[in-house]
């Protein structure tokens, strides 16, 4: 990072190293003001240049979901949210789950709610860190996504938790697939962290709280592996820790990554 930045610096990196430890949170934008003190151009312009440069890089990304066999993603990729597909799954779920019999007569009414139905249509969400999906946004792993949760409400939680296995998909995301805005935001995060490392010389790495919203399917070729978290915090139930009874699926049982 320092080598990439060299042409844009008006002072050496040592200037930052001599600043002395700062009591600033890792995600505080104040770090960018510190970066500015050694730049020969406005920091905003630099973040745009770095954002553009990132379009030829890729980043390890994650997608949390709940599925019976992760192999489907390695064959088909991660498909954009399609309400028609989700509706078919919801109807099947209601047919099969006696505990949800109450919802059967209401299903068409629920699906007619355009706002609910089209929620997240055409999008795929990816994160740059898997920790958050386990510790603070576990509902994707526990309930298979917000669409079903919104359709069924709390009475549907237990039935949703019974099906499939919490699954974390790992992929290498080409940053050319992210938006210019996302790349610029990521550039800011990288510059902040660069300054924090130079100034504070920390011995720890913060979680990268960053979400990419894709408006395209994730091709299977981007996927590099998957795993099944064994314990997940349930944000919708006072962060109770839910254990995964059997953290495996046919895809990993066959020895696949």
C-alpha 179, offset from chain centre: 15
Q: Are 63 and 227 in contact (CB under 8 A)?
A: no
Distance CA 3, CA 219 (A): 33
* Residue 252 within binding range of Zn ion, rule CB under 5 A: yes
Hey, which residues between 110 and 139 contact Zn ion (CB under 5 A)?
Answer: none
78-102: b or e for each residue (b if 16 or more CB lie within 10 Å)? Answer: bebbebeebbeebeebbeebeebee
Contact stretch for Zn ion (CB under 5 A) within 12-20, 145-153, 202-210, 243-251: 243-251
Which x/- pattern, by CB under 5 A, does the window 22-61 give for Zn ion? ----------------------------------------
Instruction: Give the binding-site size for Zn ion (rule: CB under 5 A).
Output: 4
Signed CA dihedral, 37, 40, 46, 50: sign only: negative
Nearer to Zn ion, 67 or 178 (CB): 67
Nearer to Zn ion, 11 or 256 (CB): 256
The residues, any chain, with a CB within 8 Å of residue 176's CB and separated by 6 or more, are: 55, 56
The three-class DSSP label of residue 228 is coil
Which x/- pattern, by CB under 5 A, does the window 65-94 give for Zn ion? -----x------------------------
Nearest C-alpha neighbor of 196 from the set 12, 39, 23, 4? 23
- Closest approach of Cβ 76 to Zn ion, in Å? 16
Nearest C-alpha neighbor of 78 from the set 59, 57, 63? 63
- Closest approach of Cβ 224 to Zn ion, in Å? 14
- Closest approach of Cβ 228 to Zn ion, in Å? 6
Contact stretch for Zn ion (CB under 5 A) within 18-26, 62-70, 85-93, 217-225: 62-70
Nearer to Zn ion, 90 or 232 (CB): 232
The residue from 35, 86, 186, 249 that contacts Zn ion (CB under 5 A) is: 249
- Closest approach of Cβ 230 to Zn ion, in Å? 12
Distance CA 9, CA 132 (A): 34
Residues that bind Zn ion (CB under 5 A): 70, 249, 251-252
């Amino acid at each position: 990072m320092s080598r990439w930045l060299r042409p844009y610096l008006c002072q050496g990196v040592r200037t930052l190293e001599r600043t002395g430890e700062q009591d600033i949170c890792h995600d505080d934008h104040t770090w960018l003001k510190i970066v500015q003190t050694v730049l020969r151009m406005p920091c905003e312009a630099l973040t745009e240049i770095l954002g553009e440069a990132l379009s030829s890089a890729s980043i390890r990304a994650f997608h949390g979901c709940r599925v019976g066999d992760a192999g489907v993603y390695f064959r088909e990729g991660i498909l954009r949210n399609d309400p028609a597909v989700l509706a078919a799954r919801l109807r099947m779920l209601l047919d099969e789950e006696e505990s949800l019999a109450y919802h059967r007569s209401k299903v068409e009414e629920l699906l007619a709610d355009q706002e609910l139905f089209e929620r997240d249509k055409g999008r795929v969400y990816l994160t740059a860190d898997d920790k958050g999906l386990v510790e603070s946004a576990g509902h994707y792993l526990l309930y298979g996504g917000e669409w079903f949760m919104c359709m069924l409400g709390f009475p549907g939680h237990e039935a949703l938790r019974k099906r499939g296995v919490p699954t974390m998909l790992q992929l290498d995301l080409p940053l050319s697939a992210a938006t210019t805005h996302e790349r610029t935001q990521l550039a800011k995060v990288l510059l902040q962290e660069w300054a924090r490392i130079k100034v504070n010389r920390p011995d720890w790495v913060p979680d990268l709280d960053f979400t990419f919203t894709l408006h395209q399917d994730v091709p299977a070729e981007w996927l590099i592996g998957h795993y099944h978290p064994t314990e997940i915090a349930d944000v919708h139930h006072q962060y109770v820790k839910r254990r995964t009874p059997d953290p495996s699926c046919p895809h990993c049982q066959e020895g696949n990554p």
